[in-house]
Amino acid sequence: MAILVIAEHTNVALGAATLNTVSAAKAIGGEIHVLVAGAGSAAVAEAAAKIDGVSKVLSADNAAFAHQLPENVAPLIAEVGKGYSHILASATTNGKNIMPRVAALLDVDQISEIIAVESADTFKRPIYAGNAIATVQSSAAIKVITVRGTGFDAAAAEGGSATVEAVAAGSDAGISAFVGEELAKSDRPELTAAKVVVSGGRGMQNGENFAMLNRVADKLGAAVGASRAAVDAGFVPNDMQVGQTGKIVAPDLYIAVGISGAIQHLAGMKDSKVIVAINKDEDAPIFQVADYGLVADLFDAIPELEAAL
């Protein structure tokens, strides 16, 4: 039994989420291979070869894979994946985009966003926005799975010495094209990989006030997130959203500022080790999950916090 892990990457760097997915593969048990489908992505293949526990890296380097268009990448994964018992990808927007297409090409069901491995065919996954946890068993010949990173510790990025093999497959399906992207540029850590996350909600009142959170975040080496309410109100862009339909985070410390704590937000952060809530409404539901709650006006508390750090 061998497991194929699909690498998450930017063509130049390996995505941290891949390390959590490799850990999920280890929990299933078996030889672990990593597929890097990209364009000019040799450095990613080299990085993948160093992940602890990986025995082989398959590198499919083709211009058609440059932007991870599912119409081009899914047929490759389905073709390469035929010889494996499991195909795993991170439940990033990229993994979520491509993997169901792979599953349907292989004519198998997919199991989405697993948070635990019970056995090689049985997994736990959240349903109803995390209000229930289902244990599901699959009898499919090839198990196509996406992995929620917060459910698994990252595998060591160094220590492995896998062989890298080129895969000469792939073509442009010719039905889709990349037009452009607007990526948020930030010197701060990535939300899903940060040890500390500071998030703002509707209580921030506007986008300019997020500068206050940025200053606190810089002192803590933290990433800055937001609730859906703050994103929908146009304070900050969508890629900052933490919640069921945004990013799922589980840092060591999560500081929720001016966030009431709607169920869908809690679904995105309740696995954090320590949760701090700062809100002037003492009845806000966020306090029911917070380890430390401070009932205060955030416009007083945040500058004070910045000064105290």
Partner 1 sequence: MKVLVAVKRVVDYNVKVRVKADNSGVDLANVKMSMNPFCEIGVEEAIRLKEKGIATEVVVVSIGPNAAQEQLRTALALGADRAILVECNDELRSLTVAKLLKAVVDQEQPQLIMLGKQAIDSDNNQTGQMLGALTGYAQGTFASKVEVAGDKVNVTREIDGGLQTVALNLPAIVTTDLRLNEPRYASLPNIMKAKKKPLEIITPDSLGVSTASTVTTLKVEAPATRSAGIKVKSVAELVEKLKNEAKVI
Q: Report yes or no: 223 and 196 within 8 Å, Cβ to Cβ.
A: yes
CB of 94 to partner 1, least distance (A): 7
CB 258 within 8 A of CB 279: yes
Burial environment of residue 120 by CB neighbours within 10 A (0 to 12, 13 to 18, 19 or more): middle
| Least Å from the CB of residue 29 to partner 1 | 20
Q: Which is nearer to partner 1, 168 or 175 (CB)?
A: 175
Torsions phi, psi for 146 (to 5 deg): -110, 145
C-alpha dihedral, 304 to 228 to 186 to 68, nearest 10°: 160
Instruction: Tell me the two tokens of residue 68.
Output: 């991870």
Nearer to partner 1 by Cβ, of 32 and 191: the residue is 191
* Rounded-to-integer distance, Cα 97 and Cα 135, Å: 23
- Give whichever of 70 and 207 is closer to partner 1, judged by the CB atom: 70
231's enclosing H/E stretch is helix 228-232
Q: How far is the CB of 231 from partner 1 (least distance, A)?
A: 8
Q: Which residue has the tokens 């025995």?
A: 55
Residue closer to partner 1 (CB basis): 59 or 241: 241
Query: CB 68 → partner 1: shortest distance, Å?
Result: 9
CB of 117 to partner 1, least distance (A): 14
Which CB atom, from 93 or from 163, has the smaller least distance to partner 1?
A: 93
CB of 161 to partner 1, least distance (A): 30
From CA 40, how far away is CA 10, in angstroms rounded?
A: 10
Closest CB to partner 1 among 163 and 288?
288
Q: Which residue in this structure is represented by tokens 């699959």?
A: 138
